[in-house]
Chain A
């Protein structure tokens, strides 16, 4: 009924764009907070994919929505732990520059 005239590929395109922008930000960010934001962007891109497939191909058994709920849960846990690690690093190294977090580098 609804959302028939918009093709599935349109949603997949948006999801792919969001994911690729997230990957780009993940590689090129110097600030550690921005790296975490890029990861959230990538997770949102994946979620759009799941929701689009759930609505277009699996309308009665909405398993994509179930998976999206789990992804949102894991993303919330990841954000909390990631920011706690970031605060701990900031207290020890006095910076948030990714290039200077090289304590474990060989």
Chain B
């Protein structure tokens, strides 16, 4: 009879794995995209639970804060902003594409499984340091991973400014030809025939 802790660990792992796989299938297959977005939040939470089982409490907290708190809310906002009931018209070759992509994905999955199970992993490795992981992470960030850490902050700044520039309408710009200031919304309206699909 194995000890109670190991049984608990196995049960928790099974539940989390089931939630991740079923939730991900729901995300890509459910017709209602709002349900898909909420299921995506469930998948993120389950992945955070898996991180907790892998001795990474800090990353689990970061996963919940960033993915569930920021990315998922952002996706929900995008769904509400572009919420337009439109019938996606039939497109040629959708059925063939679905069959082919299912085959490719199953093949990729089989390949990954074969690699995972045929490679002689060097387990067990060194014992996990557990709760000292946060200290070790900080040491990494400020010694041998200092340059990527600083570059990540620059990347976040660029993404923030880029998102603002892309999403705002009232960008003040100067017309090259006439020299007078023009409005981004007016430009979009004026060029609608160019951007719209030809009938």
Binding site for B on A (CB under 8 A): 1-14, 16-25, 27-31, 33-34, 36-38, 40-41, 44, 47-48, 51-52, 54-63, 65-66, 68-70, 72-81, 83-88, 90-97, 99-100, 102-103
From A40, A62, A92, give the contact of B129 (CB < 8 A).
Answer: A62
The 3 closest A-B pairs by CB, nearest first: A25-B28, A77-B159, A16-B112
Q: How many A-B residue pairs have CB under 8 A?
A: 262
Given known A6-B9, A6-B13, A14-B20, contact A62–B78 (CB-CB < 8 A): no
Which residues of chain B are near A1, meaning CB under 8 Å? 127-128, 130
Tell me the B residues contacting A by CB distance below 8 Å: 2, 6, 9-10, 13, 17, 20-21, 24-25, 27-28, 33, 36-37, 40, 43-44, 47, 50-51, 53-56, 58-59, 62-63, 66-67, 70-71, 74-75, 77-79, 81-82, 84, 86, 88-89, 91, 97-98, 101-102, 104-106, 108-109, 112-113, 116-117, 121-130, 133, 136-137, 140-141, 145, 148, 152, 155-156, 158-160, 162-164, 166-167, 169, 188, 192, 195-197
Q: Return 28 A-B CB contacts under 8 Å, by A number.
A: A10-B17, A12-B116, A18-B43, A19-B112, A27-B97, A28-B97, A28-B101, A29-B28, A33-B78, A36-B78, A44-B67, A47-B63, A48-B47, A48-B50, A51-B54, A60-B129, A62-B137, A78-B159, A79-B74, A81-B166, A83-B163, A84-B162, A90-B81, A92-B195, A93-B195, A94-B84, A100-B197, A103-B195
Chain A interface helix/strand/loop/mixed? helix
Closest to A68 in B: B59
Asked whether B125 lies within 8 Å of A41 as measured between CB atoms, the reply is no
Given contacts A18-B21, A93-B196, contact A3 B156 (CB under 8 A): no
Q: What's the Cα separation between A102 and B198 when bound, in Å? A: 11
Q: In the bound complex, how far is the Cα of B126 from the Cα of A4, in angstroms?
A: 12
